[in-house]
């Protein structure tokens, strides 16, 4: 039996039905990684010995009949900003190169409780800052659909590995689109939950008020199953909340007739690739055929989302990243230096250009003379965008819009155009500003042969509903089952 391109749920089922063992599944996946990594560079760390040991332990528990999780036995890889105490956690930064955390993230505990096997860490933009995975200090990841193109970012390693079949599923983090945009560019499914649904304990902080950990997988059902495994209130993250008791997985299959879906006029206007808008409109027609009510709506404040996001995100980043001082942990500049010079040199040498740009911008918008003009105004815009969404939920259940304005750009073009790169986040950042759940799923291909993703955004805590609509769409279409030819595991 071949593991390649199996969904995580199907693999776990096959293991439970004894069609293959946990160890056999893991070995086949590892052979796939060996075949693809030369072209992709999706992974930053692998630990085959530890994974084999964990696989044996899970197998024993399964043989004794002691496992309940629908994902038991499934290997999973996680983005390298999620702390693991057996694999280095570098955030793709020189600042944390070689850092082995003395503790692990709550989501890692939860994956283990659900008998998944963590077999590797995935490449990303440095400290999750970027939209292409090109700011990784270890080098970019390539898009498996065309290795001359970026996979998107910042969870580019996760999306590329799942698309190529060199990971069955993965966890990423999404501060302003970092799960959804790379999933969209790589033709896979990704989900950013309602803020607070998943514990951020052990996620290396970038912009704490915006970010959530979430799944990247082949389809919506795998995302729902992973969400069920990782969500829940955690005493170690005071922003985490109690979410619905009913498994998201059991909401799949619900009737979607009568679901009211709005397409914001602003989303399909302006600078957007015609390929992307036509894929979104095709998806809208398909949803209508399934009984959904699709109508246009207005979201005039959308044009302010990127500006508000980059002010708030950089302000929080400047504060969060002040802990890297060359003293407590992380990179330290060589030599016997006076204290201030040690700080300055360690940070100058340890951080890459994009991270430094954001720290400077963040300190600027928080400085006494500019706080009101930038930071306070951005917070006001955030509140107004949140209110704008809330007003829409009176007449709509969810929004449909693109995940990104174009398909994946070629390698090497985005970093020279920082503002252009920031503005390509315009469809993803509104959900982070308002803390809303958002799903991205493949809905077609551009004329360049690259995948196009569509996004469903719903009211806070309507995660199960969005997943149910995405699932229904995937039951009727096959975009999510397409595989890249160029790089296959």
Closest CA relative to residue 465, chosen from 438, 434, 442, 427: 438
If one asks whether residue 177 binds ligand GLN (CB under 6 A), the answer comes out as yes
- DSSP tag of 374: I
346 is catalytic: no
If one asks whether residue 176 binds ligand GLN (CB under 6 A), the answer comes out as yes
What are the tokens at 462?
């309507």
DSSP 269-323: SSS--HHHHHHHHHHHHHHHHTT-EEEEE--GGGGGHHHHHHHHHHHHHHHHGGG
Closest CA relative to residue 171, chosen from 240, 126, 109: 109
Q: How many CA atoms lie within 13 A of 149 on its CB side?
A: 21
DSSP 202-236: TBPPSSTTT-EEEEEESSHHHHHHHHHHHBS-BTT
If one asks whether residue 193 binds ligand GLN (CB under 6 A), the answer comes out as no
Contact set for ligand GLN, span 390-449 (CB under 6 A): 425
If one asks whether residue 131 binds ligand GLN (CB under 6 A), the answer comes out as yes
CB-CB contact of 486 with 145 (8 Å): yes
Q: How far apart (Å, rounded) are the C-alpha atoms in residues 153 and 171?
A: 13
Q: How far apart (Å, rounded) are the C-alpha atoms in residues 438 and 258?
A: 20
If one asks whether residue 175 binds ligand GLN (CB under 6 A), the answer comes out as yes
If one asks whether residue 184 binds ligand GLN (CB under 6 A), the answer comes out as no
If one asks whether residue 133 binds ligand GLN (CB under 6 A), the answer comes out as no
Q: Which of 12, 93, 166, 178 is catalytic?
A: 178
Q: Which residues partner with 293 through β-bridges? A: 260
Sole window of 129-137, 279-287, 291-299, 366-374 interacting with ligand GLN (rule: CB under 6 A): 129-137
If the CB atoms of residues 191 and 206 are measured against ligand GLN, the closer one turns out to be 206
If the CB atoms of residues 375 and 473 are measured against ligand GLN, the closer one turns out to be 375
Length of the chain: 489
Sole window of 49-57, 171-179, 394-402, 475-483 interacting with ligand GLN (rule: CB under 6 A): 171-179
Q: How far apart (Å, rounded) are the C-alpha atoms in residues 206 and 317?
A: 5
Q: Which of 12, 140, 154, 184 is catalytic?
A: 154
If one asks whether residue 141 binds ligand GLN (CB under 6 A), the answer comes out as no
What is the β-pairing status of strands 438-445 and 189-192?
Answer: antiparallel
CB of 250 to ligand GLN, least distance (A): 29
If the CB atoms of residues 346 and 432 are measured against ligand GLN, the closer one turns out to be 432
Q: How far apart (Å, rounded) are the C-alpha atoms in residues 477 and 481?
A: 9
CB-CB contact of 182 with 192 (8 Å): no
367 is catalytic: no
**Number of residues engaging ligand GLN in binding (CB under 6 A):** 13
Sole window of 128-136, 271-279, 381-389, 471-479 interacting with ligand GLN (rule: CB under 6 A): 128-136
Q: Which residue has the tokens 């499934």?
A: 74
If one asks whether residue 130 binds ligand GLN (CB under 6 A), the answer comes out as yes
What are the tokens at 296?
């246009």
Closest CA relative to residue 216, chosen from 152, 160, 279: 160
CB of 178 to ligand GLN, least distance (A): 3
If one asks whether residue 313 binds ligand GLN (CB under 6 A), the answer comes out as yes
Q: Which residues partner with 77 through β-bridges? A: 120, 170
Q: How far apart (Å, rounded) are the C-alpha atoms in residues 96 and 35?
A: 28
If the CB atoms of residues 28 and 126 are measured against ligand GLN, the closer one turns out to be 126
Residue from 3, 15, 118, 129 that binds ligand GLN (CB under 6 A)?
129
Residue from 95, 105, 128, 267 that binds ligand GLN (CB under 6 A)?
128
If one asks whether residue 306 binds ligand GLN (CB under 6 A), the answer comes out as no
Q: Which of 12, 79, 131, 192 is catalytic?
A: 79
If one asks whether residue 294 binds ligand GLN (CB under 6 A), the answer comes out as no
Cis amide linkage into residue 154, ω under 30° from 0: yes
If one asks whether residue 134 binds ligand GLN (CB under 6 A), the answer comes out as no
Position closest to ligand GLN via CB: 178
If the CB atoms of residues 322 and 447 are measured against ligand GLN, the closer one turns out to be 322
If one asks whether residue 80 binds ligand GLN (CB under 6 A), the answer comes out as no
If one asks whether residue 82 binds ligand GLN (CB under 6 A), the answer comes out as no
Residue from 80, 115, 174, 228 that binds ligand GLN (CB under 6 A)?
174
Sole window of 11-19, 22-30, 163-171, 175-183 interacting with ligand GLN (rule: CB under 6 A): 175-183
If one asks whether residue 122 binds ligand GLN (CB under 6 A), the answer comes out as no
Give the interface with ligand GLN as residue ranges (CB under 6 A).
128-131, 154, 174-178, 206, 313, 425
- What are the residue numbers of the active site? 79, 154, 178
């Amino acid at each position: 039996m071949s593991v390649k391109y199996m969904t995580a749920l199907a693999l776990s089922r096959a293991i439970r039905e004894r069609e293959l063992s946990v160890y056999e599944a893991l070995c086949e996946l590892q052979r796939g990684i060996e075949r693809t990594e030369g072209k992709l560079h999706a992974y930053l760390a692998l630990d085959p010995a530890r994974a084999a040991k964990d696989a044996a332990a899970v197998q024993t528990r399964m043989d004794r009949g002691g496992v309940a999780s629908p994902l038991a036995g499934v290997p999973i890889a996680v983005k390298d900003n999620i702390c693991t105490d057996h694999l280095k956690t570098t955030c793709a930064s020189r600042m944390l190169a070689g850092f082995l955390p003395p503790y692990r993230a709550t989501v890692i505990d939860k994956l283990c409780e659900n008998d998944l096997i963590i077999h590797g860490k995935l490449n990303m933009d440095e400290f999750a800052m970027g939209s292409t995975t090109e700011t990784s200090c270890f080098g970019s990841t390539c898009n498996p659909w065309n290795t001359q193109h970026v996979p998107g970012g910042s969870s580019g390693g996760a999306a590329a590995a799942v698309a190529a079949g060199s990971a069955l599923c993965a966890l990423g983090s999404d501060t302003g689109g970092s799960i959804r945009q790379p999933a969209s560019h790589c033709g896979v499914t990704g989900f950013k939950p309602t803020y607070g649904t998943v514990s951020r304990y052990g996620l290396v902080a970038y912009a704490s008020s915006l970010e959530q950990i979430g799944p990247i997988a082949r389809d919506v059902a795998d995302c729902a199953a992973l969400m069920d495994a990782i969500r829940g209130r955690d005493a170690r993250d005071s922003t985490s909340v109690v979410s619905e008791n009913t498994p998201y997985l059991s909401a799949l299959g619900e009737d979607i007739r009568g679901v009211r879906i709005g397409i914001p006029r602003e989303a399909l206007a302006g600078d957007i690739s015609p390929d992307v808008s036509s894929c979104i409109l095709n998806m809208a027609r398909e949803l209508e055929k399934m009984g959904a009510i699709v109508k246009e709506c207005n979201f005039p404040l959308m044009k302010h989302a990127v500006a508000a996001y980059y002010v708030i995100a950089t302000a929080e980043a400047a504060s969060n990243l002040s802990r890297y001082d060359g003293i407590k942990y992380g990179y330290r500049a060589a030599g016997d230096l006076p204290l201030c010079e040690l700080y300055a040199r360690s940070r100058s040498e340890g951080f890459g250009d994009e991270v430094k740009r954001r720290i400077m911008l963040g300190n600027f918008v928080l400085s006494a003379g500019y706080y009101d003009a930038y930071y306070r105004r951005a917070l006001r815009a955030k509140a107004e965008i949140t209110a704008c969404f809330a007003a829409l939920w009176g007449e709509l259940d969810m929004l449909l819009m693109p995940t990104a304005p174009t398909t994946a750009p070629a390698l090497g073009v985005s970093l020279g155009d920082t503002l252009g790169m920031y503005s390509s986040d315009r469809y993803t950042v509104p959900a982070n500003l308002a803390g809303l759940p958002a799903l991205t799923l493949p809905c077609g291909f551009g004329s360049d042969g690259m995948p196009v993703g569509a996004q469903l955004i719903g009211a806070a805590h309507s995660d199960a509903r969005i997943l149910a609509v995405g699932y229904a769409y995937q039951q009727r279409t096959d975009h999510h089952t397409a595989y890249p030819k160029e790089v296959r595991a």
